[in-house]
Structures are given as C-alpha cells and as structure tokens.
C-alpha cells in the first residue's frame, strides 16, 4: 500500500470550489489549505500507478492550476 501527499494549487478565488471538488471526488483526503490557493491532500493506492492515476484526475478538476507529489511512502505487504 502506498500513501502520498499532493500539493494542489488554484487561484484564491476558486479555493472553496476546488476544495469541494476534491472532497466530492473521493480520491483524497484534504488536510490543509491557505489563502493563496494551496491545498494539501493525501491519496492512497495499491501502487505508484494507482496514485499517479489519481493525481492525473485531480489535475483535470475545474480550476486546478497544478498538482504535484510532495511525499510518498510505500508499505511492504509482507511486513
């Protein structure tokens, strides 16, 4: 299992809309936002490909300017 953080950027006037879209998407958990339009989320997946697919979907949400991985952790299934 993988868990990664993503920094999502939008224009300040779209912050509430983007946050609502992220929550509604079911792709991630929102942990932080600021007045400049930055939102920190985490995504979980079975592997890197699963998380990358979620990142690409987040990038396609309305008013998202950018989204990039900030941190990633992989847990070995064996233990």
CB 44 within 8 A of CB 72: no
CB 27 within 8 A of CB 57: yes
Say which CATH architecture domain 2-74 belongs to. Answer: 2-Layer Sandwich (3.30)
Output the pTM of the full model: 0.91
pLDDT over 80 at 77, yes or no: no
pLDDT over 70 at 18, yes or no: yes
């Amino acid at each position: 299992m993988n868990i990664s953080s993503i920094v999502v950027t939008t224009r300040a006037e779209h912050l509430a809309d983007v946050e609502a879209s992220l929550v509604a998407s079911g792709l991630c958990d929102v942990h932080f936002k600021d007045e400049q339009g930055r939102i920190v989320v985490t995504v979980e997946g079975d592997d890197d490909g699963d998380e990358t697919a979620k990142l690409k979907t987040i990038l396609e949400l309305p008013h998202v300017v950018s989204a990039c991985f900030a941190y990633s952790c992989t847990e070995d299934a064996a233990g």
